[in-house]
Amino acid sequence: MCVIRPTALIGRAGDVLVVQGRDAASVTAARAIDPNFADALLEAHEAGVRLLGYRCDVGLKEARINEPVPVILATDHRCADLVTC
């Protein structure tokens, strides 16, 4: 079991997003797959919820949370404007 207790979330609401892959440079919602989740993530950010992204290595016996990566949000449905958390 992996427990993440980022000090950045002390006293705040937060959400931790994990992306698989050693070469991942950021994490973002896949609007084409789940536009409702992408909208909800943006709304949460705009309401002050702290979004933290982490890279994860997955093996046959374990998954390991590694270093933080930026969370990228589309600020509109066309994905023209981006916000990095």
Does residue 71 fall inside a structural domain? Answer: yes
CA–CA distance, 2 with 8 (Å, rounded to integer): 18
In order along its 85 residues, the chain shows pLDDT tens digits of 344 455 555 566 677 788 887 888 888 888 888 889 888 888 888 888 888 899 988 888 988 888 889 988 876 554 444 454 4
Q: Domain for residue 57, yes or no? A: yes
Give the total number of structural domains in the chain: 1
Domain span holding position 28: 15-84
Strand stretches in the chain, DSSP E = 14-20, 27-28, 50-58, 63-69, 71-74, 82-84
Is pTM beyond 0.95? Reply is no
Residue 9 lies in a domain: no
